[in-house]
Amino acid sequence: EDTLLCLRSLYRNTKKQKMKVSFQGVKGAYSELCIREYFSVAATKPIPVPCETFDDAFAALVDGKVDLAMLPFENSLGGTIYRNVDLLLRRPVHVIGEHNFRVRHCLLALPGTKKSDIKTVISHPQALAQCEGYIHRLGAVAQNEVDTAGSAERIRNEGLKGYAAIASSLAAEHFKLEKLDEGIEDETNNFTRFLCMERMPTSIPRAPSVSTPMKTSIVFCLNKARMPGKLFRALSTFSLRDISISKIESRPMKNMGKMISEARRPLYYDFATLGGSKDAEAEFKSLAKFQYLFYVDILAGVNETKTVNALRHLGEVCSFLRVLGSYPESREMVEETKSIESRNDSKKVKKTVPGMKILIIGFGTFGQFLAKTMIKQGHSVYACSRGTKYTKLAEQMGVEYKPISQIEDFFKLELDCVLVSVSIKSFEKVISSLPWDTLGKQSEVLVVEVLSVKIHPKKILLKTLPESLDILCTHPMFGPESGRHGWRGLPFMYDRIRISNRLTCDRFINIFGDEGCQMYQMSCELHDAYAASSQFITHTTGRILSKLSLKSTPINTKGFESLLKLVETTCKDSFDLYEGLYKHNEHSKQQLSLLRSAFNELEDTLQKSGTEVKGDSKEIPLAQVDVNPNVSKMKPSATIQIHSLATALKEKGEKVVSLAVGEPNDTKCPEPILKAAHEALNTGKTYYTSSVGMLSLRKAICDKLKRDNGLTYQPSQIVCSNGAKQSIMQLVTALVSRNDEVIVPAPYWTSYPDICRLAGCSPKIVKTELKDGYRLSASQLELALSPRTRILILCSPSNPTGSVYPREELVEIAKVLKKYPRVFVLSDEIYEYITYNGVKHVSIASIEGMYERTAVINGFSKGFAMTGFRLGYLAAPLKVAKLCAKVQGQITSCSCSISQHAGVAALSMGMGPVNEMKKDFTKKRKFVLDFLDSIAKVQVAKPDGAFYVLPQISAYYGKYTPDRKKMITNSTEFCKHLLSDYKIALVPGAGFGDDRCVRISYAGAMSDLKAAMTGLKSCLEGLVNL
């Protein structure tokens, strides 16, 4: 109640002059939507002020152009936004509130557009990555824009048909676009934590005088005194006083003295090392070379006695300590009754906030259970159910009761909340039968459901209820039995589905919070995933055991008594509940299947000897054979598709010039290699070798790695395979599990993502840009890494971009990977001998700390023109090499013996033939790049290696073929047009993860290159506008 009074007083004081709130972005950005949601209870809404950068948003606050700033500080998927963390410390501002904003991506397009019309989806790269699966199912291609709302603005301003933007619902409102779909993100647990900030007052910020749970953000630096366990001592100052830490993060100190003077922010304590006459900047210069700031959030107000004592104790081991703000925990802004602008001395007016009017639909055992606590808290409770059997009981409880047939009488009241407490089985029938339009005439009434499944009621409420009604999905994970002695410590889950009146919503949630429940804000989707493997499995186990009619015995163990108790508690619940948990949670079906498989596996283990199946076996018809879902996820190779189309034209007698296949087919395999192959054949060396390769070949590979890459391996660490692709497949298969992710920088070689899918893990595509040379930066990698990441794939020199990672960039990547010791690196170095302009290939395995967590993949196809020999190899730590050898032993065993002898010759013949081939590639590369420079609007990142170039041709999308029958909207359509009309075969960039491009291989004959480049230019310049 104190919190509500503070809010109302604050907004009343600021009513004369609207508050201005700065945010980063343009109109319609998610940050603006966050502001609207955060200030939803304000009588006079604040004015959002867009700023181009985070720095600008802070500057607007500091310079007095706005009253508040609302900025993001961390995301549940992307992690901390360090720029804002640094700015918070540098600028004279402090935190007065926080808001956990759920990011719900919407698909926006011009009015009248259907989803089936969408060919291209544009947005910020991070939004596109978060909706990658949805875009794929839509059959559209992704195109990067600067930001989300900006992409919506572009569609409106340019009238882009066939395009859709991923942006907020507010962007649709601003730019008059149609919302085709909502909640399209692949990962539903997507929250951004925003902090609301005010200019620094003259005194140290103190927490508001309200009873709401508080959080305090501090930053400190340990002093230079040597003391064992100093960080432990610092953090124990909180645990000793029962203060919980909700977050801790460290950042390197940068120009600390300058930061302190810039911020003009008072220190919490005037420490001897920083106070009085001492120069702060000089003091920090005297500290150790490696010093870190620790940012800590604690769940307590700064003016609580225990916090004051904890900070005083903390000061004893710190050279620097600053309070960044003390504010209500995950709530709307709660300030003292002073106006933000004037900070006058107006007195707080004590008012009694009336209880809410709550209607409970379904007054069974659970509805009665909830009603008792609501009445105790001073709320007015109404109830309705089937018939009149609860009339007397309701009267005794102080609840006004009517049969559900008379519910319209209740709907005419000024209700705050309607709580639906019916069974899962009857939920849809009850919801669809009620006159919601009558209730919908009252704006912002909150409708709450309390089922044990969440996606099912969420869908029904969104489909049935008028948009004027708010929706809150909750799950009190307890009942009359477990909650009979109070609710303290019992779990309560909630998800704000559609909320316009945030105040009413939070007042309802606080019914459970005030009773001491453990509060969990969680998406409905994540709840159901958890519930299937916990609640459903618990009920299933109890009901299975109940079928055994278990009885107590004189020799019960504690474990057996727990099982008896489980049977008792689960069977007390109705079977309708259990049936609902199964039918209305798709994850439950999967869990039941896994449970059945586990039983079968356990039985098989117990009966190892088994018995042979007698009688004739019958062949299973193909239609009844299940397809491996991992194979179903794989996509056809874009290279093979174009190659097949080109081959079909050639078979018809058409002359086709193909630059699609990545092999040096204009270069003859060096004579020493051919001679060694002939000799192996003639001398009968045609039998199996060791499955990992001949010892002589593996020794030669070790010598090569030492000579060319500075890497020391033993033959036991080498596994030779039938091409580098097999080595890649075996490594991924050996290391990943079902829930793992493999980071694949895009543009990528077409096989990487599908190798991951076939191995049962998920490829996580990270877009790189032409301006960066298509190289993954350390900062991009850090944003992409997660606890699920298992492998990072690096291809240098790269197919398809030709990019080469310099040593300094590999060092930065290695620094990031040190924080994630679980991540292994797959370094594809098949093009290492083909580099230009003095650029030298560097293996990431040669970087300090990376040898033990890197597998080097290489082979003979590209550098020695041996594509048909199918010979590759892997060099890795012994344990990993053995795992890959185990996989290969069950697939192909050894690679071809003739190829292995040829490989030994290739590594011992010297680099003369390789250098000659590289000279030829250098001339062809120059020709292709010069030709591309002559084509208007084509952008190219000049390749430093391999024999590919990946020009961006997307400037020509939206144009039509010369006959004006077909509009070119993507790389696949362009390549098909180029092949059919100009008989030139190139590979669409879509197959490499960048639909803006096409791939050109310049390893073919110069005559083919000239014909192909001429045709490409004619094709592009021949495209027309309508």
Catalytic residue among 23, 73, 194, 410: 194
Q: Which three-class secondary structure string do you get for 321-380?
A: EEEEEEEECCCCCCCCCCCCCCCCCCCCCCCCCCCCEEEEECCCHHHHHHHHHHHHCCCE
How many other C-beta atoms are found inside a 10 Å radius of the C-beta of residue 535? 22
Residue 695: which region, alpha, beta or left (left: phi > 0; alpha: psi -120 to 50)?
alpha
Give whole-number Cα distances, 523 to 75, 182, 257, in Å: 15, 15, 43
Give the SS3 label for residue 928: helix
Instruction: Give the separation between CA 283 and CA 261, rounded to whole angstroms.
Output: 13
The gap from C-alpha 858 to its chain's centroid, in whole angstroms, comes to 31
475 vs 665: CA distance, rounded Å: 65
Radius of gyration of the chain from Cα atoms?
33
Cα separation, 600 vs 594, whole angstroms:
10
CA distance 409 to 937: 68
Q: Respond yes or no on whether the N-terminal peptide bond of residue 670 is cis (omega within 30° of 0).
A: no
Q: How many residues does the chain have?
A: 1026
Catalytic member of 192, 337, 540, 854: 192
- How many whole angstroms separate alpha carbon 15 and alpha carbon 8? 10
Bridge-based pairing state of the strands 446-449 and 417-420: parallel
Surface-to-core class of residue 242, CB atoms within 10 Å of its CB (0-12 exposed, 13-18 middle, 19+ buried)? exposed
Element spanning 1010, H or E: helix 1006-1022
Task: Give me 967's structure tokens.
Answer: 């509009």
Give yes or no for a contact between 2 and 212, defined as CB atoms under 8 angstroms apart.
Answer: yes
For 855, phi then psi, to 5°, come to: -110, 120
Structure tokens at 818: 């040190």
Which candidate, 314, 311, 321, places its Cα nearest to that of 230? 314
Query: Alpha-carbon distance 175 to 170, whole Å?
Result: 9
194 among known catalytic residues:
yes
Name the packing angle between helices 575-583 and 586-606 (round to 10°): 100
Residues 169, 33: contact at Cβ < 8 Å?
yes
Distance separating alpha carbons of residues 403 and 384, to the nearest angstrom = 5
546, burial (CB in 10 Å: exposed 0-12, middle 13-18, buried 19+) = middle
Closest residue by Cα to residue 552 from 562, 541, 544, 537: 562
What is d(CA 461, CA 480) in angstroms, rounded to the nearest whole number?
A: 26
Q: Answer whether 569's CB lies under 8 Å from 481's CB.
A: yes
192 belongs to the catalytic site: yes
* End-to-end Cα, the chain, rounded Å: 64
d(CA 950, CA 797): 13
Cβ distance 167 to 143 under 8 Å?
Answer: no
Cβ contact 297:215 at 8 Å: yes
CA angle 357, 361, 365 (to 5 degrees): 105
Question: Is the distance from CB of 772 to CB of 921 less than 8 angstroms?
Answer: no
CA separation for the pair 780, 771 (Å, rounded): 14
Instruction: Let me know: does 950 contact 802? Beta carbons within 8 Å.
Output: yes
Q: What is the Cα–Cα distance from 910 to 172, expressed in whole angstroms? A: 64
3-state helix, strand, coil in the chain (%, to 5): 40, 20, 40
> Mind telling me the catalytic residues?
192, 194
